[in-house]
Amino acid sequence: MSTVLNPPPTVRSFRSPTSRSPRVSMLLRSTTLSTAAALPILTKLQHDCATPLPLLRNIADNMAADMRAGLAVDGGSDLKMILSYVDCLPTGHERGLFYALDLGGTNFRVLRTQLGGRDERVIDTEFEQVSIPQDLMSGTSDELFDFIASALAKFVKKEGGKFVLPNGRSRETGFTFSFPVKQTSIDSGILIKWTKGFSVSGTPGKDIVACLNEAMGRQGLDMRVSALVNDTVATLAGARYWDDDVMVAVILGTGTNACYVESVEAIPKLPGHKSNSGKTIINTEWGAFSNGLPLTEYDRAMDAESINPGEQLYEKTISGMYLGEIVRRVLVRMAETGSLFGKHIPEKLQTPFALGTPNISSMQQDTSEDLEAVGSILYEATGVDSNLDARKMVVEVCDTIAKRGGRLAGAGIVGILQKMEEDSKGVVFGKRMVVAMDGGLYEHYPQYKRYLKNAVAELLGPELSSHVVIEHSKDGSGIGAALLAATNSIYEH
């Protein structure tokens, strides 16, 4: 269901470092000696993470400016602004049987859907999830793609019931591939490098669609890849199938990314690109954005110890991979400096990424008087024993990091809308505009979601924000890839 943003609440003035929120003031009145010693750390954290309206406006402006610079020339900004070659989006008229393969981590999904045109839409959908054996993640290219093609062939053999392939047709699949790729057409792309624990030999520098097509041929599977996309682009396509007003898609999960519908005329670095619709989807790779972010000493330390120092700073402040780790680092400082959890600091608390973002989200959902769930999660994840005052302090830290992340993500969305509005000379904000959201962080962290929506509403104001719909598109990337296979089919519908 679509959710139209409410008018923004009254914007509070930016507090000075010495002022405290009502909750922190209450915490101060009820503190023990250990939590009192940790209070200055919390106060400084809240100051350094503050996202007042002027800062959010600056983030939105910088995002829009970096988008333009990235569209002007390759390497023009932190944002890669990659052409997806998706020039036609689903309309609802698509008919037939189409498949999707979603490879983005240690598991992959295979999916099929029977499309019935404008009247029947999605007649039926089936999918299976397959785990990739650890040894194949560091094996050869042929071994990995043969395994994937074999699983796909087994899935095809179960085809039946409402799933019907018209006579004389080969099967077509969309391929969602969430690794760094230099895309060269709608159905081809060169793998730049493996990430996420993969180190498969023989694939970097090769067309990964050709690798899959060849593997399917070795399995005797009559199927071709008709669309290569990443998960964000597939999410936009999946949402657009049901709602013609979808123009932006954002993934907020372990990682983050955003894409949007762009006019071909607004892409100076691609003067020769042809598009029948005059539009195309641009994959921003916005996780690399860094201009004007409010970073703390904990962010900088985490970044310095990461596998990509100085890179993906926006992702490191707003995505699920990192929020829990930032909280853990703050708690370690409070334990060391303020003895928040007593004299002993468990080894688990000092272990990087011991505290996950699902942990901090669960702690914020605890509304009991003694915060028993907070205590249990802290003990299980980090090994610390905590009293009630310490638990209250921990919840404040979680909220501070989630609030910054959600509000910065909201500012990024407004930056994209702002760029589109400027190019359309006032058309975008004058009509209904839908932003499709997917990802576990957005779906399962209600406080984060609320902070994101509030930031969008504050930045746009009551009138403009009433036209902007932030809509959850659950698992849109799977069906989206199949729909793009249909849109780019070699057969007429």
Q: What are the residue numbers of the active site?
A: 196, 231
How far is 386 from 195, CA to CA, in rounded Å?
38
How many residues are given for the chain?
Answer: 493
**Is 259:207 a contact under the CB 8 Å cutoff?**
no
How far is 22 from 464, CA to CA, in rounded Å?
31
**What is the token pair recorded at 316?**
């490191």
Q: Which residues pair with 95 in a beta bridge?
A: 116
Selection from 225, 198, 224 nearest residue 143 by Cα = 198
Query: Whole-angstrom distance between the N-terminal and C-terminal Cα of the chain?
Result: 29
Centre a 10 Å sphere on the Cβ of residue 106 and count the other Cβ atoms it contains. Answer: 12
Q: Which residues pair with 18 in a beta bridge?
A: none
How far is 207 from 157, CA to CA, in rounded Å?
27
Q: Which residues pair with 126 in a beta bridge?
A: 112
How far is 62 from 294, CA to CA, in rounded Å?
13
**What is the token pair recorded at 194?**
């493996």
With tokens 């071909």, the residue in question is: 264
Q: Left (φ > 0), alpha (ψ -120 to 50) or beta: where does 41 sit?
A: alpha
Selection from 349, 342, 295 nearest residue 324 by Cα = 349
The continuous run of DSSP H or E covering 184 comes out as strand 181-185
**Is 485:174 a contact under the CB 8 Å cutoff?**
yes
| DSSP reduced 3-state for 458 | helix
In a 13 Å sphere around the CA of 152, the CA atoms on its Cβ side amount to: 35
**What is the token pair recorded at 337?**
């400096």
Strand ranges across the sheet with 171-177: 122-131, 107-116, 95-103, 171-177, 223-229
**Is 267:274 a contact under the CB 8 Å cutoff?**
no
Phi, psi (deg, nearest 5) at residue 221 = -95, 120
How far is 351 from 346, CA to CA, in rounded Å?
9
How far is 484 from 88, CA to CA, in rounded Å?
8
Contacts (Cβ under 8 Å, ≥6 apart) of 85: 183, 185, 186, 280
**Is 36:387 a contact under the CB 8 Å cutoff?**
no
